[in-house]
Structure 1
Amino acid sequence: MDRAVARSFALLECLVRAGEPLRLADICQQVDLQKSTAHRILRTLGELGYADQDSAGRYQATLRAWELGAGLIADHPIKRAATGFLQGLHRTTGETVSLTLLSGDDVLYLDKIIAPRPVRFKTRIGSRAPAVLTAGGKAILAARPDADEIIARAATRQPLDIPALAAELEEARRQGYARSGFSPGVTSIGVAIALGAQPAQAALSISAPTDRLTAKSHKIAIDALLETGARMAEALDSR
């Protein structure tokens, strides 16, 4: 691995994920670089149009990185296929709906439609979360033969009750959907999107405040998810 390239990407990712301008000292601490090295990389990123400084001398990412990512996501076949299904799911349930894709041991949020009565979420479009913690991620893992490997790697990075998680995945296989309380006070339900004989890679999920989910709305959400997931998988298989 080229260390210079790796450092440059680590620094750019730091700026993108920060969500706010950062001081040089904070950047150095987060990416473990000396100030002279970080300053040199920031200067290069600035010349290339990927970073700039505000009036207080703090650094932030520009929209150049967004342009690259937006172009990539717009052409993704799962993202293109899911748009209409997400909108229909949102109309049926009135709650927040998300499209996630397995990326390594995480799920990446490709799309999200927020409910009119929103709640505070940990995730947004473009963000990642460990697959073992989210409803969509658990639904995907329940449908994959390599789930145990992903769980084992995740357990080295965070405390996990592996027997309890295994029981959740087994229940998800029986029911066809998974649950999660990844965001405090929010219940999420997810279904994996099967792509023929390939291992599941994507999932649709619905998220709502736990105290807003009545028995009736809970059943509506599950039925809508199962139906939408099956229709989306059929649409993808026919392409």
Structure 2
Amino acid sequence: MRVVNSLVERCFAVIELLANEASTLRLGEIAEKLDLQKSAAHRMVTTLCEIGWVEQEPVTGFYKLTLRLAILGQRFLSATRLTDVCQPVLDELAGESAELVRMAVVQGETLTWIAQVQGARNGLKYQPEMVARVRLAITANGKAYLSTLNPTDAIRIAINDCGVGEERSVGSVEEFMKQLKLTKKRGWAISLEEAEPGVVAIAAPITLGDGQAVGTVSVAGPSSRLTPDRHEKVASSVSSTAAKLGELWPLRQRLNNGT
């Protein structure tokens, strides 16, 4: 029984790796990143190719995900009706801020982007790739989410996400703890060109009545527009939007139940 579980876990690890990389990978890279023997990695990708989750490029021999995962993800997201319920609120914030608005949901101990609205009507537009995984330690959304957790858990998750001392990482644990404490006190987080040069983002956690964080919402744009004199006003709008989304969250459950 344990062998079967191990096989399943390894197959999903391959899928997650290819999803996070969002590109083709050599068999050797897959084995190295997942700490697998090359023969074991080959069995995994061969199995995944046979059932249609992964495909091998004929010229390079590299491996990549098929669209099957993306299609299933879209089907599931549509079935939850989450974006249907939240979209008008996100549209309102995008119109008010005239910047990019994004929403992420908590998945296990991380965040996944699920929706975005471009509010910039002219000039420079910040339009990042809709990569699923949110870097927790260096993004406003990540810090907003981590601020809702027990400090010990927050630091552990942040370190595992990108590592203390590495480039674009947590940096000093003490300093990061101060950031999370301030974020929790004021109710919103900010990323000043930490995740991307020239980009400022402000985010707030979406919480339920019991304080549980279920997601985050943010406004992001060029630092030339999201200047310090706008931070407080944008933060107020983001926090207000997060509160509205928290109130709407149970509604999608009632919609799914037909009540």
TM-score, with length taken from structure 1:
0.83
Task: Tell me how far apart the structure 2 counterparts of residues 58 and 186 of structure 1 sit (CA, whole Å).
Answer: 33
The equivalent of 2:246 in structure 1 is 233
Gapped regions of structure 2 (runs ≥ 5): 165-169, 255-259
SS at match of 1:193: strand
Correspondence for 2:6 among 3, 6, 9: 3
Offset, 1:204? 0.7
CA RMSD of aligned residues (A): 2.7
Find out whether 1:127 has 2:140 as its counterpart.
no
State the alpha-carbon separation in 2 of the partners of residues 137 and 227 from structure 1: 18
3-state DSSP of counterpart to 2:195: coil
Query: 2:197 is paired with a residue of what secondary structure?
Result: coil
SS of residue in 2 equivalent to 1:126: coil
**1:236 and 1:53, CA in 2 relative to 1: closer, same or farther beyond 3 A?**
closer
Residue deviations 1:112-145, cap 9 Å, x none?
2346533474x63422322x4321232233334x
Aligned counterpart, 1:210: 223
Within 5 Å, give how 1:1-239 maps onto structure 2: 2-56=5-59, 57-76=61-80, 78-114=82-118, 116=120, 117-119=124-126, 121=128, 124-130=130-136, 132-144=137-149, 146-155=150-159, 158-159=163-164, 160=170, 161-180=172-191, 181-215=194-228, 217-236=230-249
AA matched with 2:244 = R
Change beyond 3 A, Cα 1:230–1:16: closer
Are the aligned partners of 2:25 and 2:62 in contact in 1 as well (CA < 8 Å)? Answer: yes
Partner Cα separation in structure 1 for residue 217 and residue 108 of structure 2: 18
CA 1:22–1:98 in 2, change beyond 3 Å: closer, same or farther?
same
- Contact 1:93–1:217 under 8 Å retained in 2: no
Describe the shift of the 1:24–1:150 C-alpha distance in structure 2 as closer, same or farther (beyond 3 A): same
Count of aligned pairs between the two proteins? 236
For the structure 1 residues 87 and 30, does the alpha-carbon distance in structure 2 shift closer, same or farther, using more than 3 Å as the test? same
**Conservation of the 8 A alpha-carbon contact between 2:103 and 2:216:** yes
Comparing 45-54 with 16-25, greater Cα deviation is found at 16-25
